Amino acid sequence: MANNLYVAGTEPRSGKSAIILGLMELLTRNVKKVFFFRPLVDVDHSNGERDNTINLIKSQYHLCSSYEEMYAFTVTEASQLIAMGKHAELHEGILAKYNALAEKADFILCEGIEMVGAAASFEFDINVEISNNLGCPMLLVAGSKMKTVDDLIRSMKVYHESLDDRGCDLVATIINRVDPACVDEVERRLLAERISTRQLVYIIPNNENLGNPSVGEVARLLNAEILYGEKNLTRHVRSFTIAAMQLRNLLARIEYGTLVITPGDRSDVVLACLAAAQSMTMPNISGIMLTGGLVPEEPIQKVIEGFADTVPIIAVGENTFQAAIRVDNIHASITPDNTRKITQALAVFEKFVDMDELSDKIIKTKTTIVTPKMFESRLLQRAKVDKQHIVLPEGEAERILKAAEILLRREIVDITLLGREDKIQERIRSLGLHLEKATIIDPKTSPLFDDYAETYYQLRKDKGITIDNARDIMVDLNFFGTMMIHKGHADGMVSGAVHTTADTIRPAFQFIKTKPDCGIVSSVMLMCLNDRVLAYGDCAVNPDPTAEQLAEIAISSAKTAALFGIEPLVAMLSYSSGKSGKGQQVEKVRKATEIARKKAETLYPGLEIEGPIQYDAAVDMEVAKTKMPDSKVAGRATVFIFPDLNTGNNTYKAVQRSAGAVVVGPILQGLKKPVNDLSRGCLVPDIVDTVAITAVQAQAEKRAK
């Protein structure tokens, strides 16, 4: 297996940060310990400055290495060594820092230096030399911004010939930031010059959102004071306009994503811009910058406070002209706090780069160890392979909307949001989200409502439900969403961010029902530890299952584990191992094990099930050798079935808090169609993962049919 890769750009501002993010995403799906290393960084640490890319990758992928371990020298230090003729010492120092990091890593992704001005003349040479000294194959990022197709192709040929002459192993070339109108012409020329027939070449069109700074970046780089709208600092600045004219002229100049720059005493401009931001007929601006060190007076501030979450307002000390020049000179970057830009960068990379093809070229073999990040990356990738339609009944909730934007941008699923359309649209606008691809349905006004109410009435009239009852019930968002699944208008449902578990799953119990071979709905928690993923069942639904129910939970949990890439070895847990213990609870588990083994003969041939067994004997090989030496499961278990809800719920929470495990779930199993419940304390990433899990379950149900 290749254990390193060096990413170098052909010129400054080629957009390497987005490429690095995409490569890290690709690598973490297949490699346990991926580390990031920059031989040289162009920052001044004496001023407290830190390299943005190192901070970005360290934060996004939770790398355990320190900042200092992730680089060797600053550009200033390197230049001094070269000036003193200590060229060898420079490379020895880089290699020493790299080797120290390599001792802890399975794979190291290296990023070459990117310089501007006079220093750029030796940038490519030093990157090639460092890459060769580290024994790294290279991935070339060719910048194409402001280049003609002829210039781009000529540049590519020169760099490829140079790398070939120097013995570099070129893995692939990514041509980044290509004018969308020129993509076809670039592809034609690459074929004509036989460049794309000799190696992997990917073309990524220019994306304005990645190339434009956010309001937060502008504020940080200009050392601006943030007055209002701190939650919306991730909005992209597509252009700016100086507001020194009368309002009728200013409003005509406002475009989508405009940063309005105006003196701090122009309260009329500020109020007009805030009003425009609330208008459904005006473009949504990115923010307002107040200049001259002036801020609105107190009466105006009270009015602004009513609009605080609409657009960010920042203030600088420079005059308007100076501030505009500084804004114009800002170059966008992807910062650790800008989750929307990170999501967009990953979406763009995954759309235009063949992940499997590039992964096969970079990595020859795959590790069997699964880390939480690897599990999550693979999960999202599986979900998007066969895109499913997921309904989210809590469409007015902020966390749901933010998760929906991530899911749609990365093209993982199609989404329907349920709720009052005006409230949802208002919330989307106030949060500055892009959810144009989401379908929004208000059950009360939906043309599907009458049919759904009639269907529910027919399904439940034997239970005493009248048509009026059915119409009242179908107004409920969870009932409406579940009926969408029942009728085939959606593939799965995720709820629970603001509803109870009972509210979420009650409709499914009433008319989705269980699978023919399963008489009980249960759940599993996927416990993502440092080096593996385990399945715990049942930790959320059944308080005290019978032996027969426990056996069904075991079979269902094994199938769920296998669905998500976990080889199922089932441990039926108790306070005693093997035949040594006695008591009602032990006997229940012993009987459940016997029933589960018989069921497995037809429902899951070859499934290994052991029980009763204690947890330590199930996970620890040394304990297993003592207590159950002949067991094929002991010491190797991956699926753990708890005897009751009390034991299961407390155990998973103990492991989560004590071992720092990432918990995914509960995942409901046994239903004919997937419905999953969220914790009311869930975070946006939890929602994204649960929706992806639901999509994978829906894929499996369709394959089974």
Instruction: Please give the pLDDT value at position 369.
Output: 60
Query: Length of the chain in residues, anyone?
Result: 705
Share of the chain above pLDDT 90, in %: 41
Classify the phi-psi angles of 30: left when phi > 0, otherwise alpha if psi is within -120 to 50, otherwise beta: alpha
Token pair, residue 635, equals 């010491």
Distance (Å, rounded) from C-alpha 443 to C-alpha 421?
10
β-bridge pairing 170-178 and 200-205 = parallel
**What pLDDT does 374 receive?**
66
Q: Which of 119-133, 360-374, 632-646 has the highest mean pLDDT?
A: 632-646
pLDDT at 410 (0 to 100): 86
311 neighbors 28 (Cβ within 8 angstroms): no
Q: Domain residue spans in the chain?
A: 4-207+348-352, 215-328, 387-501, 514-670
| pLDDT tier, 117 (very low <50, low <70, confident <90, very high otherwise) | very low
pLDDT over threshold 50, residue 1: no
Q: What is the mean pLDDT of residues 423-437?
A: 91
Q: pLDDT exceeding 70 applies to what percent of the chain?
A: 97
pLDDT for res 109: 95
In angstroms, what CA-CA distances link 478 with 413, 417, 507?
19, 11, 7
What is this structure's pTM? Answer: 0.74
Q: Report whether 661 contacts 636 (CB < 8 A).
A: no
Contact between 522 and 666 (Cβ < 8 Å): no
- The superfamily in CATH containing domain 514-670 is Isocitrate/Isopropylmalate dehydrogenase-like (3.40.50.10750)
pLDDT at position 19: 93
Identify the bridge partners of residue 668 per DSSP, sorted by sequence position. 523
The pLDDT of 315-328, averaged and rounded, is 88
DSSP annotation string for 206-234: --HHHHSPBHHHHHHHTT-EEEE-GGGTT
Quick one: average pLDDT of 574-581? 82
Task: List, for residues 241-296, the tens digit of each pLDDT value.
Answer: 888 778 878 888 888 888 999 998 888 888 888 888 888 888 888 899 999 888 88
Closest CA to 364 of 98, 107, 101: 107
**Does 629 sit behind a cis peptide bond, omega within 30 degrees of 0 on the bond before it?**
no
- Report the chain's terminal Cα–Cα distance, integer Å: 39
pLDDT: which is higher, 474 or 679: 474
Per-residue confidence (pLDDT) for residue 572, from 0 to 100: 94
CA-to-CA separations, 249 to 149, 238, 253, 266, 283, in angstroms, rounded = 39, 20, 7, 15, 15
Give DSSP secondary structure letters for 173-194: EEEEEE-GGGHHHHHHHHHHTT
Q: DSSP for 231-294? A: GGTT-B--EEEE--S-HHHHHHH--TTEEEEEETT-HHHHHHHHHHHH-TTS----EEEEETT-
More confident residue, 263 or 209: 263
Q: Return the exposure string of 382-397: e unless at least 16 CB atoms fall within 10 Å of the residue's CB, then b.
A: bbbeeebbbbbbbbbb
pLDDT digits (tens, 9 = 90+) for 49-62: 899 999 999 999 99
Task: Give the CATH number of domain 215-328; options: 3.40.1280.10, 3.40.50.2020, 3.40.1390.20, 3.40.50.1860.
Answer: 3.40.1390.20
Determine which helix (DSSP H) or strand (DSSP E) holds 303, and give its type and residue range: helix 298-305
* Average pLDDT over the chain, rounded to an integer: 88
Q: Is 205 helix (H, G, I), strand (E, B) or coil?
A: strand
Does residue 428 carry a pLDDT above 80?
A: yes
pLDDT at residue 365 in the model: 44
Task: Look at residue 118 and tell me whether its pLDDT is greater than 50.
Answer: no
- For residue 49, what are its two tokens? 């400055």
At residue 366, the pLDDT reads: 45
- What fold, for 4-207+348-352? Rossmann fold (3.40.50)
Asked if the domains at 387-501 and 514-670 fall in one CATH topology, the answer is yes
Q: Enumerate the β-bridge partners of residue 663.
A: 527
DSSP 362-409: H-SS--S---HHHHHHHHHHHHHHT--EEEES-TT-HHHHHHHHHHHH
**387-501 fold:** Rossmann fold (3.40.50)
Does residue 116 carry a pLDDT above 60? no
Of 143-152, 521-530, 569-578, 598-607, the poorest mean pLDDT is in 143-152
